[in-house]
Amino acid sequence: MSSSKFLNLPGEIREAIYHEVLCSVNNKYEIGNQYNKYKFDLNLFLTCHQVYREAKTVFRRDNIFVSVETPWAEAQNHVAIDGYVPLILTGEKASRFQHMHMQVLINTPKYAAMQGPMRKFVILVDDLHLFTEMWYYENLTHPQMNPHLRLVLKLRNPYQQSFEQTPIPKAIQRKLLEPFGAVKGLHEVVVQGEHYESLEKSMREAMAIPPPPVEKCLEEATRLKDEGNDALRKQKYHDALRLYRESFLHLMIVVDGRRRSIWGEGYFQVDCKGGPFDKQPAQLIRLILRIRLVSNTVMAYLKLEDYEEAKFWGMRTINLFRTNLGGVNEAIIDFPAAPELGKIYYRTGIACRSMGDKEAAYELLKTAVKYLPNDPIVQKDFNALAPRLGRTCQT
């Protein structure tokens, strides 16, 4: 369609087309392993002066940018890799960018002399919750960090046409400030620029709510695991998987598709006080729950006949366990959750067998028998597989 024909369309239709071409959702691409990036095609701006003006207005309306500045060189990669936050601009391009609605400045005022130059990257407000979620979990992993940090939030209208200060609309201010309610225990928080005090107050009130105690986390994780097991027995397999993901979340483990981000190691390094796990090491209870959840997750995928996912989740835990043992593939019978670990080996072996990989299934079932020597089903499946491969059965 020529530009003249396009401009003959009603204005609301042109605006709808601009939105489809320029909105962040339609310019977001998965690049593998749950990571995403944005790639905006701005060739539309080159069509003619009128299209440029109209399209630019829609682009600015639909895409709200936030710049983040810290003195730490590793922050950018940490946010992108561990936080799964798509970065719009980095480096020199980010330094020159001026069209953000908010600047986020993070530093350590007590150690200002030890800090390097500020480094800047730009993200979309739609992904701001990923940034603050990562910060929330990072603080639980390293609880000594936030008490030294100062956060400055500078709100501004980047497209202001006059000298008179025009405030950002309240709905946008809410999107900018609300996610920071997840950030706890900072040394200082400053909000600058014209903004609604009620929104700042709500943000600070959310910041003041402490994370749940570890005892509550473990109790909620156990409750959701048990509900998931009940759904599994009732053949509600998708409900079971959803409940297991929620249970993981109370253990500070974020599960999103095949992504599993484990946080809060420092937070669970205590003994429980009161409740069903009184005086027990919270980290140990967490580990046992993690293994049980993986075991039941693999079972749910087996029931759904999604053998690829069953194998993926089982092998992730098995490989992690092998790595911690220095690559040795031996059963640790005195491991606190040995039976559940044996079930992971067994169920992962069944997934491999169902996919036709009998060699991998044999090795996994052989280890499962060591963990579960008195389980007749495990023994039967192993003994049925071994002769087909010319191997020796175990009794």
Q: What's the chain's average pLDDT?
A: 91
- Could you tell me if residue 395 is inside a domain? no
Domain that holds residue 230: 214-389
Residues 169 and 268 in one domain: no
Task: Choose among 362, 345, 341, 343: nearest CA to 353.
Answer: 362
Q: How confident is the model at residue 391 (pLDDT cuts 50, 70, 90)?
A: low
Residues 194 and 326 in one domain: no
Of 12, 46, 62, which residue is a domain's last?
62
Query: What gap in Å lies between CA 178 and CA 181, rounded to an integer?
Result: 6
pLDDT of residue 3: 64
Residues 218 and 334 in one domain: yes
Query: What gap in Å lies between CA 329 and CA 364, rounded to an integer?
Result: 10
Residues 140 and 177 in one domain: yes
Residues 224 and 338 in one domain: yes
pLDDT of residue 6: 83
Residues 225 and 103 in one domain: no
Residues 70-86: tens digit of each pLDDT: 998 889 999 999 999 99
Residues 36 and 69 in one domain: no
Residues 22 and 124 in one domain: no
User: How many domains, in total, are found in the chain?
Assistant: 3
- Could you tell me if residue 145 is inside a domain? yes
- Could you tell me if residue 377 is inside a domain? yes
CATH number of the domain that residue 361 is part of: 1.25.40.10
Residues 152-200: tens digit of each pLDDT: 999 999 887 655 567 899 999 999 999 999 999 999 999 999 999 999 9
Query: What gap in Å lies between CA 69 and CA 83, rounded to an integer?
Result: 16
pLDDT of residue 2: 57
Burial 121-152 (b: 16+ CB within 10 A, else e): bbbbbbbbebbbbbbbbbbbbebebbeebbbe
Residues 68 and 52 in one domain: no
Give the start-end residues of each E strand in the chain: 28-32, 35-38, 65-70, 102-107, 119-124, 150-155, 188-192, 253-256, 259-262
Residues 14-30: tens digit of each pLDDT: 999 999 999 999 999 98
Residues 272-325: tens digit of each pLDDT: 999 999 999 999 999 999 999 999 999 999 999 999 999 999 999 999 888 876
Residues 259 and 368 in one domain: yes
Look up the pTM and report it. 0.85
- Could you tell me if residue 394 is inside a domain? no
